[in-house]
Structure 1
Amino acid sequence: MSLALYLVAPGALDSSGPGDVVVLDGPEGRHAATVRRTGVGEQLRLADGRGRVVTGVVESVGRAELTLRVESVLDEPVPSPRFVLVQALAKGDRDDQAIEAATELGVDEVVPWQAGRSIVQWRGERGEKAWRKWDAVLVAATKQSRRARRPDLSPVVTTAALAARIATAGAAYVLHEDADVPLASLDVPADGDVLLVVGPEGGISPEELEAFRDAGAHVVRLGDTVLRSSSAGPAALAVLSAAARWR
């Protein structure tokens, strides 16, 4: 079984090397010491969410913190290409399920999209609360999947802003059930941002499709079945990862 992984603040491990002592405190320290009941002598990993991972042995455990003697340090390179999931806001927990699975599958950035047919609206305090919930989902999924890098979470975008982002990307694929071109038939760029756009329950409007095509996006399908908004993005990420990463 893989070692438990805890996230620390970016930069907290910058000066850590083999033989150094690192303190894990705050919510993560309490979870390790109190909830997980981590004991002296156990091995675990700390990650800063930006690619640095420290592996070490627990030397002491307090009520809400523990100290770790560093055994090794790994710096994971920035992925190339970067996979970006543009997930339309959806009702219920479907968008939460989508970004959780996408994190487990290695997505590098998540972009919430306020699509024209999205039932859910992110506005004001409610929108800020929803954004924080997505961020918490990404953090939990990063730890569960033992990732060194957590996905970035961008602010919610409009259709116009998304079209502008597509125009500057290395490639952009819009998933649509009526498309003729299979995603698996296309080559994945070797670098740059690769965007996957998933629409809401009501689908992507013709006007949105036209705007995305004009910006340079490919409109593609995954297979012969229609997937929910919660599963389409992760399935597409698996296709791209098989072509570009899982070799």
Structure 2
Amino acid sequence: MSLPVFIDSALSAAPPVGTTLELRGQEATHAGTVMRLGQGDQLRLSNGRGLVLRCTIAAPPTKQRVQLSVSEVEETTTAQPRVSIVQALPKSERAELAVDLATQGGVDSIIPWQASRCIAKWPEHKRAKLHEKWVTAAIAAAKQSRRAFVPEVEQLHQTADIVQRVRAVIAAGGRAYVLHEDARTSLATAEVDVNELVLIIGPEGGISDHECAEFHAAGAESVLLGPEVLRTASAGLVALAAIGSRTSRWHVR
């Protein structure tokens, strides 16, 4: 079984083997109290940006502090192509599921989108709290799936913001795809050998004709995932799997 992963975002540079570090706060509580790890047990400590340390617990853990000894240093690079998912806001009970599944699938960036047909809304006074829930879900899923990178969760975007992003990505040599049930082209045959991909996922009520027209005018293409209509929360994972099977993203590194 692979070693559990813990996150310390303050970890910036790779320390020499033999260095003593401390895991503190909630991560220490999770290691010592929840997982019941003890002296001599091993774990992986990541900064969520590609640096991963294999560590041994050097002393009996406490609730707020776990002393670690670094035994191995691993620095990984992001998979290619870089993939961002524009995720229309799902209903509250499915929002964190959408983030969780996309993170497990290896997404690099998640962009919350207030689509016109979204039932869910992010009002100004709740926006920071709702955004933090998505960030927390991404961190938890990255740890569970043993990822070296925690995907970035961007701030809430409106349709005009997504249009600008699409134009910028295409101008830089990337591709943008709108996942749409009426598309004629399959994602399985779409061009993915580029530096960056943007996948636009609509709400349960679908992407409006006006939004589709704006995305197409910016250079995005509509693609089909398969014969079934997927829920917005699971579409991202299925799309990432389709891309991963045709690129190096899911190859063992």
TM-score normalised by L of structure 2:
0.94
* Corresponding residue of 1:2: 2
3-state SS of the aligned residue for 1:196? strand
The Cα offsets for residues 54-99 of structure 1, whole Å up to 9 and x where unpaired, read as: 0011111223211111111001113321110110012132232121
Q: Identical aligned pairs, as a percentage? A: 41
* Corresponding residue of 1:166: 166
Q: Which amino acid aligns with 1:3?
A: L
Alpha-carbon RMSD across the aligned residues, in angstroms, is 1.2
2:38 aligned with 1:39, yes or no? yes
Question: What is the rounded CA distance, in whole Å, between the counterparts of 2:15 and 2:66 in structure 1?
Answer: 16
Q: How do 1:1-247 and structure 2 match up within 5 A? A: 1-10=1-10, 12-60=11-59, 61-169=61-169, 170-191=174-195, 193-244=196-247, 245-247=249-251
Contact persistence 1:86–1:197 (CA under 8 A):
yes
The Cα offsets for residues 194-238 of structure 1, whole Å up to 9 and x where unpaired, read as: 111000111100000000001110101111111111111111111
The Cα offsets for residues 112-140 of structure 1, whole Å up to 9 and x where unpaired, read as: 00001111111122222111111110010
Question: What is the rounded CA distance, in whole Å, between the counterparts of 1:78 and 1:15 in structure 2?
Answer: 17
How much does 1:26 deviate? 1.3
Question: What is the rounded CA distance, in whole Å, between the counterparts of 1:63 and 1:205 in structure 2?
Answer: 51
Question: What is the rounded CA distance, in whole Å, between the counterparts of 1:96 and 1:9 in structure 2?
Answer: 21
Unaligned runs of 5+ in 1: none
TM-score normalised by L of structure 1:
0.96
Unaligned runs of 5+ in 2: none
Q: Which amino acid aligns with 2:162?
A: L
3-state SS of the aligned residue for 1:181? coil
Question: What is the rounded CA distance, in whole Å, between the counterparts of 1:13 and 1:42 in structure 2?
Answer: 24
Aligned residues: 245
Contact persistence 2:14–2:51 (CA under 8 A):
no
- Judging changes above 3 Å, is the alpha-carbon distance between structure 1 residues 246 and 213 closer, same or farther for their aligned structure 2 residues? same
